[in-house]
Structure 1
Amino acid sequence: MPVDPRLRLHRVVVPLSLAAGAITLGSFAVLPLTGLLPGGATAALLVLGLLFGLLVLSARDACSVLTWLVVLLFLVPQPFVLVGPLKSVGNPAGLVALGALAIWAASRVLGLIEAPELHPVRWTLLGFSVAALASYGAGLTRDLTAGEAASMDRVVFQHLALLGIGLLAVDGLGSRERITTLLQRLVMVGGLAAFIGILEFVFSAFDFRSMMLLPGLTTSAELDSYSRSGFDRIAAGASHPIEFSVVTAALVPLAMHFTIHEQSGRWKYWLALLALLSALPLSVSRSGFLTLAVGVAFYVAALTNRGRLNVLVLGVIGLGVFRAVVPGLLGTVRGLFLNADTDPSISGRTEDYAAIPGLMQDHWLIGRGTGTFVPDVYFFLDNQYLATLLQGGLVGLVVFVALHLIGLGVARGVRRRSTDPELRSLGQALAATIASLGVASFFYDSISFRQSAFLLVLAIGCAGALWTLVRDEPKRHHRDAPTGARLDHQIGR
């Protein structure tokens, strides 16, 4: 009888669990000193201590490790790093991701993880990392500025972190129950982050970043405020409002899935979905709305005609309510699209694209070097595909596109092979999240932002883990869409 992966990983994950427990105990140890800390910092410290305590008491498996990652990714502002010599590499979520890579490697060496040898997601992730390392080597062959060299070293750790998340998810989750649990936690934590953004918009005195600047943390970048057309743009724990909007929008298909299929506690997912949809316009970002449109369209394609109509009606009602509550904001967002052809921020950046062929001379194969295209030295691209071409060459671009296509393929494969309506819907939701993030990469440097980059590989890893469970099932052509029927029943005929 095969051993439960949670038990097999126990020996590797326990040290990380003990570290989390130490942090929890440390948070309570400072209770006598709470008078020396600002009230917001004290509250944030205790909340994080509670979260870590709950996680320590959970199962010692890949799901718990990735849950820690999600909590730190969304609830600790991304510009924050540990005090010390690590600087930007010392981001808490990034360190857990690097730990995930170590756990995966140790588990594979010790034989604690039994996984298919020819899994397409695993090999694509490894190819993505090899291409990045080859590009790193190419960067070392030319004269680099100090900014380019520092950025190149920093981005290597980012790629290792991405590799750790994807590999631990695809090989370590092991069961449908743990995959579903992780995705449910992802939606709930994402909904909490969206609610924090709403508080930032409603209450000008609410400063989440200042509140979360806990002892032992410092900032690796200036904490800028953003505004557009008279509206303050929210970011919550993200690095920028664009990243906040894209990640928020990409989580909507998963939230829709759980509102439809979760049998107990469905109200939690309705609240998370409402928070995600309400927070998105507050970022005043074109990219977020485009991401939302792609994700929802991809997921709604799996519904019946009646289900699609219900979504459309609820969407129109929601827009009307939002317009009444926040007058003028939707008009501002509409203007961003209607006036895009005259927007100087867009035209200026597209004009810079003419310099790309010259920069690529003699670097078409493996690029100019991973992480070397620094905006302060060159210019802003706001296009991850072009950034990947410049830094990783044609090899890097092909592997980056393949990462999205393989992720989409295994997510859709779950839907095509499974006969369980709930599992088919979850596969479609993951495909929608991956597709929406892939389209968003045309409009900003998605891999340069930790939340969007980590979410992409986490979604691909979860899709790959589900595909492992159904890979031996034959593909089927389903004539109906039970997901839509369930939605019809919930909303009313």
Structure 2
Amino acid sequence: MSERHHGSIPVSAVDHIGIVHKLPWDAARLVIVYVVLLYAVPSNVTISSMGALGRPHFLWGLAMFAFWAVSRLQWRSVDVVSTWQPVRVAFVVFFVIALVSFAEAMLRGQPGDQVSQLITSMLRLLSWAGVLLVIIDGVRTMRDVSRIIRVVAIGAALLALLALLQSFTGQSYVDFWGSIPGLATGDGGIAERAGRIRPAATATHPLEFGTILNAALPLCVAGALSQGFGRGRARSSVAWWWGASALLTVVALMSVSRSSIIGLAVAVVLIVPAMPRRTRLLVVLGGFAVIAVMVALTPGLVGTTLSLFTSTDGSTLSRTGALERLPGFVSASPLIGIGFGTFLPRYYVFDNGWAGLAIELGILGVVAFAGLIGAAVWSAWQARRRSESPLVGLTGHAVAASVITAAVVLAFFDGLAFPMSGGFLFVMMGLCAAIRSVSMVETRAVGVAIASDAFEESTEVRRQSRRVARSLPAKRAAS
């Protein structure tokens, strides 16, 4: 099916409209650049003169929002057949609540550092909006969806490889960014727990990096099951994708993190139903083989990992104590919160993204964000159920599993406060909406074909009826 075909089939939202038509960039390329900046440039690297606003992927997200706004202003009904997207509706609701909370916080008055953080957080939300809306309105073909997912999954595998090197050598390998003129580096990088290195690749924190590994695992498994999402040589492509899946699993197990291991378990449980029965058995056997190799190469890893779940350390006590203190913080503004991004670490550290949302955006904000997650998962599952294409169904299952995994891990750290995990989640939610658009295109195409066949058949029946009617007077006269 051609991407540039005019008519009743939806095409790229930026493909035929005004000045945007003259640009060599389509929506998929914009998203791919965002993912590359998100992965390749360390999260703690910023442009010196811009402070927290100077992260490259953040600026590119704002540019994408401007690109989306210009394309929508030039939108014509002949360009795109509109598709109702619950993800768009849920995000608008969430964004409106954030705006109301922002206005209320500014009217109430804030300390200077909280005002700066509040404005920065709202701009970060606007950057995420640019990514999400460009994917929703610009990515309308399975080819573009597959291109983006391949970059997301391959990039995560490369980060895992970098983390593996960091774990064995104790070197960061990304410190050179700080020596580039005009750039500055902040806190972050590799850490240590129980005498073991916790790699972070280019993320700010090992927990943030673990979220990327776990959420990308279903995508790599889907790539293996579909031979690179329908693009690749059978044996070499399948081997590469299974190798990437194994690498993500190994690095997640070596993270010395309860959150990462729980997220890995959630990702595995969610993606296993998408596998053929014979493949499930092979994957289980392969998983035990990987664990055996890890135990042999890293003595003491099993004991250290088990101790994370059996011992009561400071991190565990902090999380359980935080839940007891949560109602007191929420009571300050239970409905709309105190403002997105204004609950600074000097007040308390919850290590729980959902608890942070409850304080900053209130009960309405938590419900709206949960609705956004639910809308994304529902959209992907609708595509899986509706489509006759195995590739669309498998991809829908994988992106839904990725979003659910990221949402679960949010309960163990403040994921929206970290640049890489927050940007990754919004990319995946956008892909959930995009895969729904793909399935609706397919459904409409089938419906148009059926209607066309029925029309042609009825037209032929009418023609035959007319021929019979014309021949009757002649037969009567002859008789």
TM-score interval w.r.t. the shorter chain?
0.7 to 0.9
Cα shift at 1:304 = 3.9
- Farther-moved stretch of structure 1 (308-317 vs 437-446): 308-317
Give the direction of change, closer, same or farther, for the CA distance of 1:224–1:173 in structure 2 (3 Å limit): closer
Aligned position for 1:393: 362
* Residue identity in the other structure for 1:192: L
| Percentage identity across paired residues of the two chains | 28
Match for residue 237 of structure 1 among 186, 202, 211: 202
In the alignment, the residues of structure 2 paired with residue 422 and residue 304 of structure 1 have an alpha-carbon distance, to the nearest angstrom, of 14
What is the CA-CA distance between 1:212 and the residue it aligns to? 3.1
Structure-2 change in CA distance of 1:134 and 1:216 (3 Å): farther
Among 403, 410, 435, the residue aligned to 1:466: 435
Q: Aligned pair in 2 of structure 1 residues 436, 143: CA closer, same or farther (>3 Å)? A: same
Q: Distance in 1 between matches of 2:219 and 2:267?
A: 9
Contact 2:189 2:199 in 1 (8 A): no
The secondary structure found in structure 1 opposite 2:400 is: helix
Q: Is the 8 A contact 2:177 2:185 kept in 1?
A: no
The match for 2:16 is: 8
* Separation in 1, partners of 2:140, 2:277: 35
Match of 1:287, as an amino acid? Answer: S
Report SS of the residue matched to 1:81: strand
Superposition deviation, residue 236 in structure 1: 0.9
Given candidates 124, 127, 131, the residue that maps to 1:161 is 127
2:264 is the alignment partner of 1:292: yes
CA contact (8 A) 1:89 1:154 kept: yes
Tell me if the contact between 1:226 and 1:234 (Cα under 8 Å) persists in the aligned partners: yes
TM score, norm. by length of structure 2: 0.84
Give the one of 343, 355, 358 matched to 1:373.
343
Match of 1:120, as an amino acid?
A: P
Aligned position for 1:343: 313
TM-superposed CA distance for 1:472, in Å, is 7.0
> Which residue of the partner structure matches residue 214 of structure 2?
249
2:451 is matched with none
Distance in 2, Cα, partners of 1:319 & 1:367: 44
Q: Deviations over 1:114-164 (max 9, x none)?
A: 362531111112222111111111211334223322211111111111111
Q: 1:191 aligns with which of 157, 160, 170?
A: 157
Q: Which has the larger radius of gyration?
A: 2
Deviation at 1:216, TM superposition (A): 4.0
AA of the residue aligned to 1:221: G
Secondary structure of 1:208's match? coil
**CA contact 1:253–1:296 (8 Å) conserved in 2:** yes
Provide closer, same or farther for how the CA distance between residues 467 and 361 of structure 1 changes in structure 2, counting only shifts above 3 A. same
Task: State the 1:359 CA deviation.
Answer: 2.4
Measure the CA separation in 2 of the matches of 1:372 and 1:280. Answer: 31
423-432 or 115-124: bigger deviation: 115-124
Provide Cα deviations, 1:29-65, integer angstroms capped at 9, x if missing partner. xxxxxxxxxxxxxxxxxxxxxxxxxxxxxx6211111
Offset, 1:166: 0.8
TM-score, length-scaled by structure 1: 0.82
Distance 1:115 1:95, change over 3 A: farther
Distance 2:157 2:21 in 1: 27
Residue identity in the other structure for 1:147: D
1:18 corresponding residue in structure 2: none
1:126·1:163 contact (CA, 8 Å) conserved in 2? Answer: no
Return the alpha-carbon distance in structure 2 between the equivalents of residues 176 and 69 of structure 1.
19
Residue segments in structure 2 that go unaligned for 5+ positions in a row:
444-479
Instruction: Specify every segment of 5 or more residues in structure 1 that has no aligned partner in the other structure, as ranges.
Output: 16-58, 475-493
CA distance in 2, matches of 1:191, 1:253: 12
Count of residues paired in the alignment: 426
| Post-superposition offset of 1:328 | 1.6
Q: Secondary structure of 1:227's partner?
A: strand
- Aligned equivalent of 1:360: 330
Q: Which residue matches 1:333?
A: 305
Contact 1:226 1:233 in 2 (8 A): yes
